[in-house]
């Protein structure tokens, strides 16, 4: 199996950076570059770009490729444009309909969308999806925030305190070292797998 586009490889290690507190109450890197932040001013984990080097690490997502796939609505598996029609952009999700009424309406997703041919590939190869998955068309999938590691001030510098998902509107986002872009899924319609098979034929 060819590893998904967003999968990190063993040759793609995080670049060493020292996180420091900034005067404007947030975190930054020593010798920070403009490219270390997104358009909202949030600091991002910098990781080597060496896809195909070493072995794929299926449990690890490459921050830059995930961000690119989410920004451009690319398929998380092949990296091409995700499936879109009048009903919205196509997403493949683990089935969490028991989590709340109307799921996945309002869900914050760090998983990029998908194209029709890659749905079958994902269902065949991903153990988590084999336990239950749904295909969803999403008409409104606005970028709302980031997933990453929250920091707090410390005596010797900022201290990492754990993983969070935080909206761009939250002042605390200045203390997050981001590794994933988040889109909120709204105006969702569940799609039967049989309908996708017809589209792929």
Can you give the residue ranges of every domain in the chain? Answer: 7-200
Distance CA 184, CA 200 (A): 27
Q: Is 193 left (phi over 0), alpha (psi -120 to 50) or beta?
A: alpha
CA 122 to the chain's CA centroid: 16
pLDDT at position 1 is 64
pLDDT in tens, 113-143: 999 999 988 988 888 787 889 999 999 999 9
- Residue 149 vs residues 21, 159, 183: alpha-carbon distances, Å: 15, 10, 18
DSSP state of 16: P
For the chain, residues with pLDDT lower than 70 are 1, 197-201
Residue 141 pLDDT: 97
pLDDT of residue 199: 61
Return the sign of the alpha-carbon dihedral for residues 165, 169, 170, 171: positive
Closest CA to 129 of 145, 111, 143, 146: 111
Q: Residue 201: its pLDDT value, please?
A: 43
pTM over the 0.85 mark: yes
């Amino acid at each position: 199996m060819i590893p998904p586009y967003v999968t990190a490889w063993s040759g793609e290690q995080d670049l060493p950076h020292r996180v420091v507190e900034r005067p404007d109450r947030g975190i930054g890197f020593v010798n920070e570059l403009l490219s270390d932040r997104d358009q909202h001013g949030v600091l991002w984990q910098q990781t080597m770009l060496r896809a195909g080097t070493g072995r794929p690490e299926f449990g690890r997502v490459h921050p830059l490729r995930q961000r690119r796939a989410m920004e451009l609505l690319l398929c998380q598996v092949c990296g091409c444009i995700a499936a879109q029609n009048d009903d919205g952009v196509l997403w493949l999700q683990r089935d969490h309909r028991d989590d709340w009424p109307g799921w996945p309406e309002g869900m914050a997703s760090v998983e990029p969308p998908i194209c029709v041919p890659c749905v079958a590939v994902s269902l065949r190869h991903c153990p988590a999806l084999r336990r239950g998955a749904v295909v969803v068309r999403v008409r409104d999938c606005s970028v709302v925030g980031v997933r990453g590691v929250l920091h707090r001030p410390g005596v010797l510098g900022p201290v990492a305190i754990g993983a969070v998902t935080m909206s761009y509107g939250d002042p605390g986002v200045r203390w997050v070292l981001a590794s994933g872009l988040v889109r909120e899924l709204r105006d969702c319609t569940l799609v039967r797998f049989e309908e996708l098979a017809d589209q792929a034929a």
